[in-house]
């Protein structure tokens, strides 16, 4: 016998909430176009640097150059993004960032972004699921949390806000 499904309030389960915890400004270089590969078009966007701020912890960090955003362009209005890079805090601690995202919008607006033209961030759906990893004791809590975020692509920079899922 199947019981009727219940909403979290009826089961006593907590409803997740979000707490903003990291703001990032990631400086990017011009995309490297790989071209059509199977059902997608591949593009790699080198990460040149940038900076980040820990909203809840008060730390500051720089984005180390050498990371990249590996992109799969599904169609003219949709890209699947896989960014990998490292933050280094002012204290010298390092945070590995693995960020998976989707960015969608009207094809003409996405084309403007790709030409380096400004587009209102509200016109583009840019959501992400970052994974943060740190060895430093003060930041190790990141290894045991789930994060979601939102972003905006600008001509030479990606601005992101990561939120801890409570």
Q: Which two tokens stand for residue 105?
A: 């919008």
> In the chain, how many domains are there?
1
Per-residue pLDDT, 146: 98
Which residues partner with 25 through β-bridges? 51, 159
Q: Which domain holds residue 98?
A: 16-165
pLDDT exceeds cutoff 80 at 89: yes
Alpha-carbon distance 85 to 105, whole Å? 25
Per-residue pLDDT, 83: 98
Per-residue pLDDT, 8: 60
Q: What is the pTM of this model?
A: 0.90
Instruction: Return the percentage of the chain with pLDDT > 70, whole number.
Output: 95
Burial pattern 23-44, b for ≥16 Cβ within 10 A else e, equals: ebebbbeeeeeeeeeeebbebe
Assign residue 142 the CATH number of its domain: 2.40.160.20
* Domain presence at residue 116: yes
């Amino acid at each position: 016998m199947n019981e009727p499904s219940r909403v979290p309030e009826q089961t006593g389960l907590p409803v997740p909430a979000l707490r903003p915890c990291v703001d990032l400004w990631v400086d990017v270089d011009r995309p490297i176009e790989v071209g059509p590969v199977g059902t997608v078009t591949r593009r790699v966007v080198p990460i040149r640097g940038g900076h980040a701020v820990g909203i809840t912890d008060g730390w500051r960090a720089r984005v180390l150059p050498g990371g990249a955003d590996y992109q799969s362009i599904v169609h003219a209005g949709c890209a699947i993004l896989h960014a990998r890079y490292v933050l280094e805090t002012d204290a010298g601690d390092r945070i590995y960032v693995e960020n998976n995202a989707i960015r969608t919008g009207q094809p003409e607006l996405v084309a403007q972004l790709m030409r380096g033209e400004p587009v209102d961030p509200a016109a583009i759906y840019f959501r992400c699921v970052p994974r943060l990893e740190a060895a430093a004791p003060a930041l190790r809590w990141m290894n045991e949390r789930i994060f979601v975020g939102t972003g905006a692509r600008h001509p030479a920079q990606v601005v992101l806000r990561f939120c801890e899922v409570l």
